[in-house]
């Protein structure tokens, strides 16, 4: 067993992880929005979709971080990237000195933010590449699955030191039905997710279409190919070792395997814009733009998508 586990940010992904772990008997506290938490308190958490139908109860339920208990052994941080700094500062005081935080979030930069507060020795990166959505308060649906959740330490050296603890988390996730694995080096996996998200999320949000429609259209397909090419240039400048040697090699896997597996999925950024909520563009294409500027590498496709999402968000807020 994992001990006391906190899901800090019990939205769609956090609810699925926490719910399936709870079904396996883990002690889970969900920290989330009041309407979602109140619905779970009344009727339990309903999980539907490609991983089956589940109704789970027996959680500790909290909507205000001030009401949290202490001595958590493990925290899954599943908040949006723009809330990472404030959220980790709220929950780290609740963590045991020997406890760990898994940043299971979109985008780049989260791992460094968490480590800056919790300490690198207590920070794990989690690459999550399954999709879920909240259908209504208390009800979530797993919509797509591309690859296992991968978990590793802040550095390869820390991954080795923490391997027994990481493998225990991985085993619990696998036992709950969430395919997972140990990663000695987590950053290539986080960049692999960036390579997946950056071509799809902003374009899907701007055009309000699913991922399959983007791949089917030769115009958007060309844009996505250029986004991928720019990310490879930036990754090389950052000395990140990717799993693919050339952008064309990744693009083939992207269009032939990853997008077909998730073709009906719609970017969460669509809902964010429609609800006048912040988007995670700054941790995705915006982060590539930031790194491009750092290294003097032009990234016009990533820059354009970043600026268009920023503009759309401002227009819809008026």
282-305 pLDDT, tens digit each: 999 999 999 999 999 999 999 999
Nearest Cα to 161, choosing from 220, 203, 212, 98?
98
Q: Looking at residue 119, what is its pLDDT?
A: 98
User: Which residue from 11, 317, 21 is spatially nearest to 177, judged by alpha carbons?
Assistant: 21
Predicted local confidence at residue 198, as pLDDT? 98
Please give the full DSSP string across the chain, using - where no structure is assigned.
---EEEEES-SHHHHHHHHHHHHTT-EEEEE--HHHHHHHHHH-EEEEETT--EEE---EEESSGGG--S-EEEEEE-S-GGGHHHHHHHHGGGEEEEEEEEE--SSSSHHHHHHHHH-GGGEEEEE--EEEEEEETTEEEEEEE-S-EEEEESSHHHHHHTHHHHHHHHHHHHHHT--EEE-SS-HHHHHHHHHHHHHHHHHHHHHT--HHHHHHSHHHHHHHHHHHHHHHHHHHHTT---SSSSHHHHHHHIIIIIHHHTTT---HHHHHHHTT---SGGGTHHHHHHHHHHHT---HHHHHHHHHHHHHHHHHH-
282 contact partners, CB below 8 Å, separation of at least 6: 81, 82, 107, 306
Take residue 312 and report the two structure tokens written for it.
């759309």
Q: Which of these, 137, 141, 138, lies nearest to 52 by C-alpha position?
A: 141
What are the structure tokens assigned to 156, written together?
């390869």
What was the pLDDT predicted at 97?
A: 96
Active site residue 193: yes
For residues 212 and 203, what is the distance between their CA atoms, to the nearest angstrom? 12
Q: Are strands 60-62 and 123-127 parallel, antiparallel or unpaired?
A: unpaired
Distance, CA of 279 to CA of 36 (rounded, Å): 20
What is the per-residue pLDDT for 314?
Answer: 86
DSSP string of 16-30?
HHHHHHHHTT-EEEE
User: Tokens standing for 150?
Assistant: 């991968």
pLDDT at 318: 57
pLDDT at residue 58, rounded to an integer: 98
Lookup: tokens for 133: 């959505």
Which pLDDT does position 12 carry in this prediction? 96
Query: Distance between CA atoms of 143 and 267, rounded to whole angstroms?
Result: 11
Cβ-based burial of 44 (10 A; exposed 0-12, middle 13-18, buried ≥19): middle
Give CA–CA dist 108/234, Å, rounded: 13
Q: What is the pLDDT of residue 146?
A: 86
**What is the block-wise mean pLDDT of the chain (318 residues), using blocks of 10 residues?**
97 97 98 98 97 98 96 97 97 97 97 98 96 95 93 98 98 98 97 97 97 97 98 97 97 95 90 92 98 98 98 79
CA–CA gap between residue 101 and residue 95 (Å, rounded): 8
Instruction: Identify the active-site residue in 4, 23, 165, 193.
Output: 193
The domains of the chain, with CATH numbers, are: 4-184 (3.40.50.720), 188-317 (1.10.1040.10)
């Amino acid at each position: 067993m994992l001990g006391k586990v906190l899901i800090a940010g019990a939205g769609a992904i956090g609810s699925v992880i926490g719910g399936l772990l709870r079904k396996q008997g883990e002690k889970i506290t969900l920290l989330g929005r009041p309407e979602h938490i109140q619905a779970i308190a009344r009727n339990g958490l309903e999980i539907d979709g490609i991983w089956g139908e589940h109704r789970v109860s027996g959680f500790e339920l909290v909507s205000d971080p001030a009401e949290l208990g202490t001595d958590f052994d493990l925290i899954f941080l599943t908040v949006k990237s723009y809330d990472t700094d404030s959220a980790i500062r709220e929950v780290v005081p609740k963590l045991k000195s020997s406890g760990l935080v898994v940043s299971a979030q979109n985008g780049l930069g989260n791992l460094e933010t968490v480590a800056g507060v919790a300490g690198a020795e207590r920070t794990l990166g989690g690459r999550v590449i399954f999709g879920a959505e909240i259908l209504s308060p208390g009800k979530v649906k797993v919509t797509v699955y591309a690859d296992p959740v991968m978990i590793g330490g802040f550095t390869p050296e820390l991954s080795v030191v923490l391997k027994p603890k990481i493998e225990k988390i991985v085993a619990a996730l696998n036992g709950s039905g969430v395919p997972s694995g140990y990663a000695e080096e987590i950053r290539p996996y986080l960049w692999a997710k960036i390579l997946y998200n950056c071509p799809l999320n902003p374009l899907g949000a701007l055009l309000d279409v699913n991922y399959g429609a983007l791949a089917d259209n030769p115009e958007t397909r060309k844009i996505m190919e250029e986004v991928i090419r720019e990310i490879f240039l930036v990754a090389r400048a950052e000395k990140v070792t990717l799993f693919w040697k050339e952008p064309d090699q990744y693009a083939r896997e992207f269009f032939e395997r990853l997008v077909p597996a998730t073709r009906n999925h719609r970017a969460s950024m669509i809902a964010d814009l429609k609800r006048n909520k912040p988007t995670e563009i700054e941790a995705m294409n915006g982060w590539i733009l930031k790194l491009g500027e750092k290294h003097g590498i032009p990234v016009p496709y990533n820059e354009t998508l970043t600026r268009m999402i920023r503009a759309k968000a401002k227009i819809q807020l008026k």
